[in-house]
């Protein structure tokens, strides 16, 4: 099982959801690791992915699952400018090839949203094309989520990739009209894309729901 996981915006809950999925896979006896090609600001998210992945001594090192790291909490483009370090796309591909040779189950977590710039001419979506994986979109379930989700799904499809599922993340206990109605709206707009929900504070996800996403519902899913 391999997916590329993006978000509708920064802080949508990509790492939180990815860790839940990794833990579910490993608990089911399916050794899985996370891969964070680009990380900006600090490596807390990378460390969480590492902890949620395989726990044996043969597991990957931090640098193996995060080949590109910038210290500034900025978009990769500007973080690279600040560090005067060019974007290392070849380094990402080399790290990916090494990881996929060892593990069957890999969840790749993007940085920021789908169109966050990594160079002057490329975005995170272009990096995702290199992996060619079906894409899961973590949706920050709040007012504005519908607009962000539509733009993200259209961006995924424009690059010839399949949006395999939408995962609505509830970052707060409090509910409002938008967070209550967004799931129904997205199911109506994208009937061919499964919509899952992760409630605030949830510590487990149903692995069968994730497995159901493995096959497209229709050729346009």
Question: What's the pLDDT tens digit per position in 140-167?
Answer: 999 999 999 999 999 999 999 999 999 9
This prediction's pTM: 0.92
Q: How confident is the model at residue 221 (pLDDT cuts 50, 70, 90)?
A: very low
Structure tokens at 144: 């504005």
Cα gap 221→219, rounded to integer Å: 6
Asked if pLDDT for residue 172 goes beyond 90, the answer is no
Average pLDDT over the chain, rounded to whole? 90
- The partner residues of 216 in beta bridges, in order of sequence, read none
Q: How confident is the model at residue 219 (pLDDT cuts 50, 70, 90)?
A: very low
Within a 13 Å sphere around the CA of 218, how many CA atoms are in the beta-carbon half?
Answer: 7
Q: Which stretch of 8-17, 169-178, 197-206 has the lowest confidence by average pLDDT?
A: 197-206
List C-alpha distances in Å: 36 to 25, 63, 81, 178, 210: 18, 10, 20, 30, 20
Range 60-85 average pLDDT = 96
Query: Which residue among 14, 36, 94, 102 is the active-site one?
Result: 36
Which residues fall within 8 angstroms of residue 49, CB to CB, at 6 or more apart? 15, 18, 19, 22, 33, 34, 35, 36, 65, 109
* 114, 159 contact by CB (below 8 A): no
Question: What's the pLDDT tens digit per position in 180-207?
Answer: 999 999 999 999 999 999 876 666 677 7
Structure tokens at 189: 């707009």
When the candidates are 3.40.50.300, 3.40.50.920, 3.30.230.70, 1.10.3720.10, the CATH number that belongs to 2-212 is: 3.40.50.300
145: alpha, beta or left? (left if phi > 0; alpha if psi -120 to 50): alpha
Is the four-CA dihedral 201, 203, 204, 209 of positive or negative sign? positive
Asked if pLDDT for residue 70 goes beyond 90, the answer is yes
Q: Is 36 annotated as catalytic?
A: yes
Structure tokens at 131: 């992996």
Q: How confident is the model at residue 210 (pLDDT cuts 50, 70, 90)?
A: low
């Amino acid at each position: 099982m391999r997916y590329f996981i993006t978000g509708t915006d920064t802080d949508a809950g990509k790492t939180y959801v990815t860790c839940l999925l990794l833990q579910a896979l490993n608990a089911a006896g399916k050794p899985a690791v996370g891969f964070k090609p680009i990380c900006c600001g600090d490596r807390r998210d990378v460390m969480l992915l590492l902890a949620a992945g395989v726990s044996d001594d043969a597991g990957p090192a931090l640098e193996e699952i995060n080949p590109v790291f910038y210290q500034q909490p900025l978009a990769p483009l500007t973080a690279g400018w600040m560090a005067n370090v060019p974007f290392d796309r070849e380094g990402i591909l080399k790290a990916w090839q090494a990881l996929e040779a060892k593990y069957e189950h890999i969840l790749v977590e993007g940085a920021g949203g789908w169109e966050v710039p990594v160079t002057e001419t490329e975005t995170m979506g272009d990096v995702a094309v290199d992996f060619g994986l079906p894409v899961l979109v973590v949706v920050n379930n709040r007012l504005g989520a519908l607009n962000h989700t539509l733009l993200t799904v259209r961006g995924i499809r424009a690059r010839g990739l399949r949006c395999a599922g939408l995962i609505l993340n509830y970052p707060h206990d409090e509910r409002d009209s938008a967070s209550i109605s967004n799931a129904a709206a997205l199911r109506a707009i994208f009937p061919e894309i499964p919509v899952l929900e992760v409630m605030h504070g949830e510590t487990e996800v149903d692995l069968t729901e994730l497995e159901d996403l493995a096959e497209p519902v229709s050729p346009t899913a």
